[in-house]
Amino acid sequence: MLQQDILNLTRKQFAQWLNDRGIAPYRADQVFKWIFLRQADSFGEMTDISKQVRGMLADHFTIGRLKTAGTRRSSDGTVKYLFELSDREHIESVLIPEDDHYTLCISTQVGCAQGCAFCLTAGIGFKRNLTTAEITAQIRDVKKDLGDKGKLTNIVLMGMGEPLANYKNVINSLATITDGDYGLQFSTRKVTLSTSGLVPMLERLGHDTTINLAVSLNATENRTRDILMPINRKFPIESLLDACRRYPLSNRRKITFEYILIKGVNDSVEDAKRLARLLRPIKSKINLIPFNEHQGCGFRRPAKERIELFREILQKQGYTVITRLSKGADISAACGQLAANIKNYNEKGQSPVIQEGVSSAQRADADERFQ
């Protein structure tokens, strides 16, 4: 009999599966409680369910775990996990320590098709979407590994891949992640999805979930964003911001606009003033991310003074601005540095290797834009 990973189902879907077979749907609550709250790895552990039902469940389902192929710990306490999937592909997740809790950055695809010029994951290319089970398992497995060493309260879908390009599986995983009764029990206010700007799916997202939205903007005019983020050629800044204006938000929520500051590319005074004008009609806050340098990319981080000036201009315009100094750079776990390179996990230490120059394609684009 062909078995499927039960983590691919939401609790509602599993309850329907049980009901179709004459089993009381409330058994889904019990099973999910065992899996997500008690970290059960077999149906045999579920002692409040009859032996007959447990046997039937074992015939039809597995309870999946990801294989931890490696971990790396940063000097700042960040932990990067390398997970091996059933087809021998690999993804990375990053556990980030905060003052009194942890945030987990999870992946939604193996590789990525968006081709952003500043992102190391783009070099992998797109291999496949993660299943609902593979998305959910990253959280379940890290929670088990963390144990009582700290509280995991925040989830960000900002790892490898574009979440909105794997829409169905992401939405199903979010149902379990934010299931406050028997799932992973994360508040929707503590879960954030970051997108490069797939406008049609963005319009659906606001009606299908109430989690936080972050939009990776990174430029204030189309010519630069076309170079940095090829998705802009299909969905330019005007259409993206129009979708953001129409995005349903509760009274107290705002869209976070992520802006990676790159020296000489998008960090000018004019860019800061233009950004302030662009976002004026939108309930928004701004997350400035100084570029995290990595191997094979010729982009550079701006000077500290330039970053501060950019922030001050936005703050004077009334925006809430956070300058995010990404953690885990010494293990290539910072924003834009995920690549699931197995070799890196066999080394005791790895600082990002910065190479002068960029690829020929990047150089051609940059030359055309910045001459």
Single-letter amino acid code for the residue at 353:
V
Task: Please name which of 276, 178, 256 lies closest in space to residue 213, comparing C-alpha atoms.
Answer: 256
Q: Cite the beta strand spans of the chain per DSSP E.
A: 4-5, 61-62, 67-73, 79-84, 90-97, 102-105, 109-111, 126-129, 152-157, 191-195, 212-216, 255-261, 284-290, 321-323
**φ and ψ of 65, to 5 deg:** -125, 150
**Residue at 39: amino acid letter:** Q
Of 112, 244, 297, 335, which is the active-site residue? 335
Angle at 92 between CA 186 and CA 101, to 5 degrees: 35
By the 8 A CB rule, do 255 and 249 touch? yes
> In sequence order, what are the beta bridge partners of 83?
68, 91
Residue 255 neighbours by CB under 8 Å, 6+ apart: 213, 214, 215, 244, 247, 249, 282, 283, 284, 285
Active site (annotated) includes residue 270: no
Catalytic residue among 45, 84, 92, 270: 92
Across 63-80, b (16+ Cβ under 10 Å) vs e yields: bbbbeebbebebeeebbb
Output the CA angle 81-82-86, nearest 5 degrees. 130
Decide if 335 is catalytic.
yes
CB 36 within 8 A of CB 183: yes
Report the catalytic residues. Answer: 92, 335
